[in-house]
């Protein structure tokens, strides 16, 4: 990425090789603020590396993104998770993936304080607590995808 290759070649390499590695298994992630910041920071560092720009040059990331025109990694990862959730909700047979996605966890009291974020919490914020039934309608689910990402 630090060579003298043209920017469009570096962009293709970033979008086809590095982005899938960065977002590998993102369908199973909980998108906390910490994870979101790590993805954004990593991608911005790689984009600066593509153009040989240091942080001390104080160039805004929007200008760098306009030059590199790479796919936004966080948006891509969230879109993949939302598509995977719809796929899991539409499964007909009782596979482990659908059983795990609909599992409520162990019964009993939870710890005092704010509970840890669960995999489906960010999906429930957009689609509602009845997201599994909404996901079975593909058109409705596809319209909610933009709001999720």
The pLDDT tens digits for 103-113 are 877 888 878 99
Q: Do 126 and 98 belong together in one domain?
A: yes
Provide the number of structural domains found in the chain: 2
Our CA dihedral for 17, 22, 27, 32, rounded to 10 degrees, sits at -160
The phi-psi region of residue 94 (left if phi > 0; otherwise alpha if psi is between -120 and 50; otherwise beta) is beta
Q: Do 58 and 34 belong together in one domain?
A: yes
Residue the block writes with tokens 């539409």: 90
The Cα–Cα gap between 77 and 83 comes to 10
| 19 within a domain of the structure (yes/no) | yes
Q: Do 67 and 20 belong together in one domain?
A: yes
Boundaries of domain holding 101: 76-105+116-148
Q: Do 40 and 84 belong together in one domain?
A: no
Query: Would you place residue 27 in the very low, low, confident or very high pLDDT band (cuts 50, 70, 90)?
Result: very high
Residues 64-84 pLDDT 10s: 999 999 999 999 999 999 999
Q: Where are the alpha helices (DSSP H) in 4-54?
A: 7-13, 19-22, 33-50
**Contact by Cβ (8 Å): 126, 148:** yes
pLDDT at 149 over 80: no
């Amino acid at each position: 990425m630090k060579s003298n290759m043209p920017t469009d070649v570096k962009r293709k390499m970033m979008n086809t090789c590095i982005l899938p590695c960065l977002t590998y298994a993102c369908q199973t992630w909980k998108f906390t603020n910490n994870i979101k910041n790590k993805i954004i920071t990593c991608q911005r560092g790689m984009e600066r590396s593509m153009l040989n720009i240091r942080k001390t040059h104080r160039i805004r990331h929007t200008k760098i993104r306009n030059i590199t025109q790479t796919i936004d990694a966080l948006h891509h990862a969230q879109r993949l998770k939302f598509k995977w959730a719809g796929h899991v909700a539409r499964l007909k047979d009782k596979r482990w993936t659908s059983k795990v996605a609909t599992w409520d966890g162990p019964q009993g009291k939870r710890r005092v304080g704010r509970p840890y974020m669960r995999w489906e919490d960010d999906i429930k914020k957009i689609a509602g607590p009845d997201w599994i039934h909404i996901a079975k309608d593909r058109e409705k689910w596809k319209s909610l995808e933009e709001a999720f990402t």
